[in-house]
Each structure stands twice: as structure tokens, then as C-alpha cells.
Structure 1
Amino acid sequence: MSQRFMKRLLALLLVPLVVTGCASRPPNDSNGEVTLTLASSFARNHSNNEGLLMILDELEKRAPWIHIDYKGGPEVMAPNLLIEGVSGGVFDLGMLPGDYYVDQVPALYLARFTPFTPAEERENGVADIYDEIHREQLGVTYLGRAVSGMPMVVLSRNEISSLNLHGKSFRTSAATSDMVSQLHGVPVDIPGNEVYTALERNVISGATWASVGPSSLGLQDVVSYDMAPRFYESLANLVMNEKTWDALDERTRNALSDTVADMEMPVFNHYLSRTIEETGQWHEAGVRESRLNDDDAAELIRMAYKDAWDELDWDRILETSPAAAKLRDAYDVPLENGGFDRVPGGAYMADTERLLKEDAS
């Protein structure tokens, strides 16, 4: 990371954490300055905040009249309540995964299936569909992706040589529990900060995780394998209270929307790079890649993107989010060449490295 980026990170993390409501005050003052409050669903030093900080760093350069008052992470509002905090005006801005509010908006179950990069989602209108869904159901504006380019990976104490986890327990998230079940494993709901101990004591056999983050918990010391191929996208969204958005002047709205849009691919590539870096750290620590054979690998991708897709509760999704029909049409593309290109961040490390090199060239 650049020195400027690290300074920005340090400055942001040192902001006092004081929660104040924002719905009762206008965001613009008489001098044209704009102050917006922001909360994240992740702890201050979490790697998932890095993309957010990249966006804020660029916003500061482009729009110095916009001041972001960072309030904190889970210590100021529980992550599963943050979307309501933004919708209700406790915070102007929030950064959180869609998985954290699928109960309110079942259409967000679809996000992990995206075959597109953030730039492609803007080009083909998918980003506009997400904005429509967020406005209609939550009263918030969807600004874009603050985390992307991180596929999900299965970490295991034992080698995975087939599509059968043999009834072993794996810590999962909402995004991966169905996949573990399809692989004949047992999904277990364990808080992230307890996973190391559960693996160390052999309470669970493994864990599913985004490809960036396990090292921060030391998981490379208590697992022996990372499964390939990887699948799905680990995503987080930057959203804004709709009333606050509507109260902003056009210059400020354009600065916010343009900055987020322009930074989505740098953020995507940042997490591609971090994926490569972290996987290298695992392997240096002795973790080995548990690579499925070609047939099983293609079947895993089919299970993730066809079977799991078909088994979604479409009646509930479409009833609560009619615009999800447009997402379904956009995401429902054929699996070609084994389906490995379906994973935006790369099903294999070679794919991730290639994607990063293509962008650099």
C-alpha cells in the first residue's frame, strides 16, 4: 500500500467514535461544505475496510468540500442492524455485505452469484437494478461495491480429494452453508473470532472464508489445505440514506457517484492482489492446495452456480423484490468451458494472477 494510503488509514482509525443522528440536520452548511457520517460493518483494522479507504482517499482528493465523519464499526452498531441504521438516518453512509440484510431484502441472495466485475455491472445495468431494489425496499441509495474480487475458499484440516466432506463440520457463512451441505458436510455457525480455537481443538474440520482475511485470524496455523477451485464473490456495498442523498447538491452527488464508480475496479484489483498475497502466506506457512480433478472441479462450479441458483427461494425473492427478475435474467448465463470463468475473482490462483496482469497491461 502507498504511504498516502497508510496515512489515510491511520487518520481515519483515530477519529473519535461518537454516534450522532443525521436525519435532523442538512448535510450542506452555509459555506457549501458537506459533512456525512459513515459506519462500517467491519472492525477498524479489518482488511474489508481497505477498499472503503481507497474510495475515501480518492474522494478527499476530488471533492475536498466533502467531509466524512467516520463513526466506527461493530462497536457503534451491530453489523446486522447497520442497514437499518442507514435507512433510519442514524448514519448517512454505511458499508456492509448484502448477506447482512438478506432477511430484509431476499434479492441480495443473488449477489454472490454474479459473473461480472463491478465495471461490467455498471455497463450492463446491474448496478442500476441494485439501486432500484435498495431505494424501493430500504429507502437507501446504492452507490456501489466497496469490496469485490475475493472468491470464497474452503479451508480444511484434511485434504479434500472429492466432492464429499464425509459429514465433517465446517464453519460457514450465509453464502456458503448450502454448498457445504451439498458436499455432504455439516454447516456450523461460529463467530469469526472463535474459529481459530474451534479448529485448534478439532471441534470443526474446516471453514469457508473469503480469500482475504483468514491470515488475520491465524487460520493458516490450524488448517492444512485450501480447496481449489474457489467460487462465488465476497462483496460489500456502500449505501447512503436516500433522504440525505436527495438533500445533496448536484455537484456533491456527482462527486460521490463518480468517485465510487471510478474506484470500483481499482478496489477489485486491490483485492485480487491481496488474494494472491494472502494465499502465498498460507502456502509459506505450510498450507497446501487441495485441487479437485477436472471433472469434480467442473461439477463443483455447476453445483455452486446452477444447483444452488435453482434452489433459491425464488417465490419469496420475486414477491418481495420484483426487480430481482431483472437480476435473475442478467446473472443466468450459461456455464462455458467448465464454468471456471464464472468466478470474477478467479476460480484458481492462476486465473487471479492472469486477471491482475491483464488489468496492468
Structure 2
Amino acid sequence: MKLTSLCKAAVMALGVAAAAGAAAQETTLRLVSAFAENGIYVQRLQPWINKFNAEGKGVLQINFIGGPKAMPPFEVGNAVKTGVVDMALSTGAFYTNVMPEADFLKLTQVPVAEQRRNGAFDAINKVWNEKANMQYLGRMVENQPFHIYTNKKVDKPDLAGQKIRITPVYRDFFQALNATVITTAPGEVYTALERGVVDGYGWPIGGIFDLKWDEKTKYRIDPGFYDAEVSLIMNLPAYNKLTKAQQDYLQKQVLALEAENGFWAKYTADEVARQQKAGIETIKFDPATSKAFHDKAYQVGWASAEKQSPEIARRFKPLFAPK
């Protein structure tokens, strides 16, 4: 009887130890967003996080900390670099204070899948690893061109006399169009428009309704330019601490997220129609002027990149440009 009890106790102890060992293998990553929780980017990310956690039990989990209420958008990049958080949903334009090359991602003109095939992703990660202590995990937004939104009508691509809210994405381009540029966090734009502190702003085709900027916007200038880059980045030491199985699982889920990027083309079309219905007028130029406007955006963008970081810009340009 005593022997039987001892055996049972040993089996139970082994079971507890095995469970503890399995639990020890599970890692939880802290993720913060540079974008508001009620915005389209986080709305798209939340189901992915739920799926990630459901399928990753015992392997890898994500703890979503929140958006700008938890951390100011322009502090997110440094928080990832220093390991204050493990992961972030952000755009390179929001962490140029960590590395100016982060802004180069707006210049990509090939799909994310092609960037993975042609070596662009490897080239990006080499720079991100070395300069920002980050792993560039994946890009969850495509086909989201930027536009100029303004309350002053123009008949040519000239913003002289206009105060335009910017991020680093379009600073140089808007200055080349003679705008007076003002930097503010997204949360301050509505009030700035309301008070006339700015006449307009740069922003992707989608998302202005989430922020209620449509209420203070009269015109959108076409065509769009660049491509909004919203990506998942990770602290490099935290990434390197993951086991091979955990890294493989993370990569699998990131690729699944990227596979859903077809959503954005339809979303763009829907947002154009929604803006029109809301009374936002479209300013269009003639075909030659439109092409010159679009080409100038990239000429200015690459010229700025080459001035900022010549070697890296030369490395990225052939990988980002369409064939």
C-alpha cells in the first residue's frame, strides 16, 4: 500500500513538473500600438492577436497593452529599441528619431510578397538590426497612398500660403510644394483644423473618419503618392531569445497577416466613395500635371533618402522600385 501511494505521488510530481516545464516554454510578448485602438489598423490587428493567442497556447502569446493612451506614438520606436516593450505596430515615420532610414519604407513600390522574394526584407532587417536593435517582422498595410487634404482650394500643385500638418513622411515633398509645415501628433490635428492652426494635412486615403477629420476637411488632392507603411517591429534581443519553434510560429502568423493585405485595395475604393459622400471634394489636375506631381514625390523622397543615408538609399532603391 505504501509503495502504491509512493508511486502515485511520484507520477503526480512528474505531471506537475511536466506542466511547469511546458508553461515555462510559453513566452508572452508585450505589444503596443502607435495608432488609436478605434482606428482601422488596430481593428484589423485585434482578430489576428486573438487567433495568434488561441493557436499559440504553450508556445507564444501577445499581451496588447494599448495605443496612444498607453504610450505616445513618437515614443513607440524607442520603447521597442530599448526593450520597454517587445513589439509594436507602428510606421517608420513615427520612429525616425531612432533611425532616419525608417522613413525610407514609404518609397516601396512593389508588393510585400515581392519584397520578401527579391531580398528587400533581408536588406531592411540588416539595417534595422544594426541601427535600431530591431527585427522588422512584417508589413500589414499596402495599397494605401498618401494624399494632401486641405481646406484651401488649389488649381495647381502648389501649397504656397498654406500651413500643412506633416510627419517626416511628406515633410520634404510638401516643402518642395512651398507649404509651411507643422508637426503634431495625430490626436492634435482635429483641434488644429478647427482653430485654423493648420489649413490641411497629409494622411493616407483611409482613416480620416476614425479620427473625425472629415468634419473639418473640404478637399482631397489627387493623385495619391507613396504607400502607407504600417508594420510590426520587435526588439532584437527579445526576438533572439525566442526558441526556434517560437520564431517559426511568429513568422507563420506574420505571413498569415500579410496574406490578408488584399483587403486594402477594396478599402481604398470604399474610402474614396465615403469621402465623396461626406462632401469632401476631389481636386484633380490634368494627366501631365498629375504624372509630374506623382513623379516629383518620388524624386524628392529618394533625393532626401540619398542625402540622409547615401549607401543605404542606394541599396534599397533597386529593391523598392517596380521592374
TM norm structure 1 = 0.76
Letter in 1 for 2:116: R
Q: Does 1:302 align with 2:295?
A: yes
| Runs (4+) off by over 6 Å | none
The aligned counterpart of 1:60 is: 53
Is the CA contact (8 Å cut-off) linking 1:160 and 1:292 kept in structure 2? no
Secondary structure (helix, strand or coil) at the match of 2:64 reads: strand
The aligned counterpart of 2:314 is: 325
Secondary structure (helix, strand or coil) at the match of 2:161 reads: coil
Secondary structure (helix, strand or coil) at the match of 2:168 reads: coil
Greater Rg, structure 1 or structure 2? 2
Matches within 5 A, 1:112-151: 112-151=106-145
Is the CA contact (8 Å cut-off) linking 1:152 and 1:230 kept in structure 2? yes
Distance of 1:101 and 1:239 partners within structure 2: 11
Distance of 1:231 and 1:296 partners within structure 2: 14
The aligned counterpart of 1:35 is: 28
Q: Does 1:230 align with 2:219?
A: no
Structure 1 residue 35 displacement after superposition = 1.6
Distance of 1:77 and 1:202 partners within structure 2: 27
Q: String of CA shifts for 1:40-62, please: whole Å, max 9, x gaps.
A: 11222222223433432442354
The percentage of counterpart residues that share the same residue type is 24
TM norm structure 2 = 0.84
Distance of 1:333 and 1:224 partners within structure 2: 33
Structure 1 residue 111 displacement after superposition = 0.9
Is the CA contact (8 Å cut-off) linking 1:155 and 1:209 kept in structure 2? yes
Structure 1: runs of 5 or more not aligned: 1-27, 335-361
Distance of 2:92 and 2:291 partners within structure 1: 27
Letter in 2 for 1:285: A
The aligned counterpart of 1:90 is: 84
Residue from 216, 229, 251 that aligns with 2:245: 251
Q: CA RMSD of the aligned region, Å?
A: 2.3
Residue from 157, 163, 184 that aligns with 1:190: 184
The aligned counterpart of 1:314 is: 306
Structure 1 residue 29 displacement after superposition = 5.8
Structure 1 residue 110 displacement after superposition = 1.4
Secondary structure (helix, strand or coil) at the match of 2:229 reads: strand
The aligned counterpart of 1:156 is: 150
Letter in 2 for 1:175: V
Is the CA contact (8 Å cut-off) linking 2:39 and 2:211 kept in structure 1? no
Secondary structure (helix, strand or coil) at the match of 2:154 reads: coil
The aligned counterpart of 2:283 is: 290
Distance of 1:165 and 1:38 partners within structure 2: 38
Letter in 2 for 1:328: K
Letter in 2 for 1:53: Q
Q: Does 1:77 align with 2:71?
A: yes
Letter in 2 for 1:36: L
Change in Cα spacing, 1:83 to 1:171, as seen in structure 2 (3 Å) is closer
Structure 1 residue 229 displacement after superposition = 0.4
Distance of 2:220 and 2:307 partners within structure 1: 35
Structure 2: runs of 5 or more not aligned: 1-20
Letter in 2 for 1:275: T
Secondary structure (helix, strand or coil) at the match of 1:77 reads: coil
Is the CA contact (8 Å cut-off) linking 2:78 and 2:98 kept in structure 1? no
Distance of 1:332 and 1:119 partners within structure 2: 14
Distance of 2:62 and 2:230 partners within structure 1: 19
Change in Cα spacing, 1:189 to 1:81, as seen in structure 2 (3 Å) is closer
The aligned counterpart of 1:99 is: 93
Secondary structure (helix, strand or coil) at the match of 2:25 reads: coil
Secondary structure (helix, strand or coil) at the match of 1:240 reads: strand
Distance of 1:275 and 1:61 partners within structure 2: 30
Q: String of CA shifts for 1:173-195, please: whole Å, max 9, x gaps.
A: 21112222222222222333332
Residue from 192, 201, 206 that aligns with 1:212: 206
Letter in 2 for 1:152: F
Letter in 1 for 2:31: L
The aligned counterpart of 2:4 is: none
